[in-house]
């Protein structure tokens, strides 16, 4: 195991740009390891405020506030990528900013991100950049039916519009409401996966097993790991994610969302330089949670094993469940003995807002998913629709997939660190 040149040891202070649930859970992991946590967020009642020793209340583009945060921290990381470049630079001038300003700058603009991926020969679907409705129409003429995505912001299905014909371009552009956008060809998809990579300052990496993800109306509904997918797909997805993390020189975490087409092509969808919703199951299913792993990586400590100890699944709990006439039932959800309820401490429920998640483990992805599905349907109000499930026959991982995970977890790319000091 390579020792970091300048590890940030327990007892130090870690700064987090962003005070949402990802910052809260990262902070909880940091506290358990003996660190103090400071947070910057525009909301004085942000979710991470409950665990932070100090909250700097300021917009994400406030360079002076970011410098103030950095002045009290030995290292700073982030839980949201939409941080102003001047603020990122202000942190980096005063203390280690991990990940650094440059990879965050590339990732936070979807057009810039897609162009970077294509230029570095990572697999992406056909796309065009757009600055006006005419560009959308030209893209549809060239690519056929497309999805228009705002280049900045927009998440959980926001800032997106489907366009079938050239005549729809103006309406799609208006619906997105952006000054620039990426226009992506609509693909025939079999399913979606993600891969999470951790990387230290010296270049050492660890990769988590792929997660398989299901969305409804653009929002993640549930996720399961290890993904019940063909072994070749899992290997290719992991290699793509490792390559991107290395080429971008990310320090911390990098989540790579990918599409798998009906002809088994693996294509990169989006990148996130932070903890990821699809890996919340790592808290219980893996030897090292993604949140502890982020702390280890940015503090230049030896990385923990990401190997799965069991299959794990999560289901998101959106604010809609609290807006129903009757309240959701934690008691009923926890009558599933394998289920765990994690609420984020948000004071106001809004439609589509992530308020928490349910998780469960099992001997197989199928079992973990069934448990979390059942827990969700017990938790939800009677008037809310049940969770979207899949045909159980599609959830059985091929024997080769789990075999490779188990075999490689002892010393291969899935669990052991990859690379070294450079």
* Lookup: tokens for 199: 């990387």
Burial of 246 (0-12, 13-18, 19+ CB in 10 A): middle
The H or E element containing residue 303 is none
In the 3-class helix/strand/coil scheme, how is 304-324 assigned residue by residue? CCCCECCEEEEEEEEHHHHCC
- d(CA 95, CA 313) in angstroms, rounded, equals 37
What is the distance between the alpha carbons of residues 263 and 170, in angstroms, rounded to a whole number?
Answer: 32
Structure tokens at 298: 């940015």
How many angstroms separate the CA atoms of 211 and 337, rounded?
23
Strand partners, 74: none
- Largest Cα separation within the chain, whole Å, is 60
Alpha helices in 249-387 (DSSP H): 282-285, 290-298, 330-333, 365-379
Query: How far is 319 from 346, CA to CA, in rounded Å?
Result: 10
Which residues touch 148 (CB under 8 Å, ≥6 apart)? 130, 136, 160, 161, 162, 163, 172, 173, 175, 176, 181, 182, 183
Comparing CA positions, the residue from 40, 29, 89, 43 lying closest to residue 298 is 29
Q: Report the alpha-carbon distance of residue 330 to residue 244 in Å, rounded.
A: 40
CB 149 within 8 A of CB 174: no
* DSSP letter string, 121-161: T-----EEEESSHHHHHHHHHHHSSEEEEESSS--TTTTEE
**Sign of the Cα pseudo-torsion (239, 409, 27, 357, in order):** positive
Binding residues for ATP: 110, 149, 154-160, 184-187, 192, 215, 269-270
List residues forming the annotated binding site. Answer: 110, 149, 154-160, 184-187, 192, 215, 269-270
The CA distance from 371 to 283, in Å, is: 16
Contact 381, 325 (CB under 8 A): yes
- CA 281 from chain centre, in angstroms, equals 12
């Amino acid at each position: 195991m390579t020792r970091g040149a300048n590890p940030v040891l327990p007892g130090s202070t870690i700064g987090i740009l962003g005070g949402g649930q990802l910052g809260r859970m990262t902070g909880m992991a940091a506290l358990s390891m003996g660190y103090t946590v400071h947070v910057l967020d525009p909301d004085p009642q942000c979710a991470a405020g409950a665990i932070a020793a100090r909250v700097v209340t300021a917009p994400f583009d406030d360079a002076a506030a970011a410098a103030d945060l950095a002045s009290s921290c030995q290292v700073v990381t982030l839980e949201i990528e939409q941080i102003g470049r001047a603020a990122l630079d202000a942190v980096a001038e005063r203390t280690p900013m991990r990940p650094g300003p440059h990879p965050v700058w590339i990732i936070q603009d979807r057009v810039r991100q897609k162009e970077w991926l294509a230029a570095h020969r990572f697999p992406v679907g056909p796309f065009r950049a757009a600055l006006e409705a005419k560009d959308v129409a030209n893209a549809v003429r060239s690519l056929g039916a497309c999805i228009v995505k705002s280049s900045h912001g927009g998440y959980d299905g926001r800032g997106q519009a489907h366009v079938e014909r050239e005549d729809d371009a103006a309406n799609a552009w208006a619906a997105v409401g952006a000054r620039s956008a990426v226009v992506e060809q609509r693909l025939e998809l079999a399913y979606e996966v993600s891969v999470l990579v951790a990387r230290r300052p010296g270049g050492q990496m660890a990769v988590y097993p792929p997660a398989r993800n299901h969305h409804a109306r653009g929002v993640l509904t549930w996720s399961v790991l290890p993904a019940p997918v063909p072994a070749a797909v899992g290997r290719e997805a992991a290699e793509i994610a490792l390559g991107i993390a290395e080429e971008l020189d990310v320090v911390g975490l990098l989540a790579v969302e990918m599409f798998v087409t009906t002809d088994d092509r693996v294509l990169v969808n989006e990148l996130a330089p932070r903890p990821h919703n699809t890996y919340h199951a790592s808290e219980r299913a893996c030897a090292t949670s993604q949140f502890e792993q982020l702390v280890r990586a940015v503090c230049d400590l030896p990385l923990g094993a990401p190997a799965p100890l069991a299959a794990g699944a999560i289901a998101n709990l959106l604010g809609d469940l609290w807006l129903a006439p009757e309240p959701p039932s934690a008691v009923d959800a926890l009558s599933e003995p394998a289920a765990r309820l994690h609420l984020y401490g948000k004071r106001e429920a809004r439609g589509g807002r992530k308020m928490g998640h349910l998780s469960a483990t099992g001997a197989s992805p199928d079992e973990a998913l069934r448990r979390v599905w059942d827990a969700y349907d017990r938790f939800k109000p009677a008037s809310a629709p049940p969770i979207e499930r899949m045909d159980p026959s599609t959830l059985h991982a091929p024997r080769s997939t789990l075999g490779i995970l188990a075999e490689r977890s002892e010393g291969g790319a899935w669990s052991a660190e990859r690379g070294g000091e450079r």
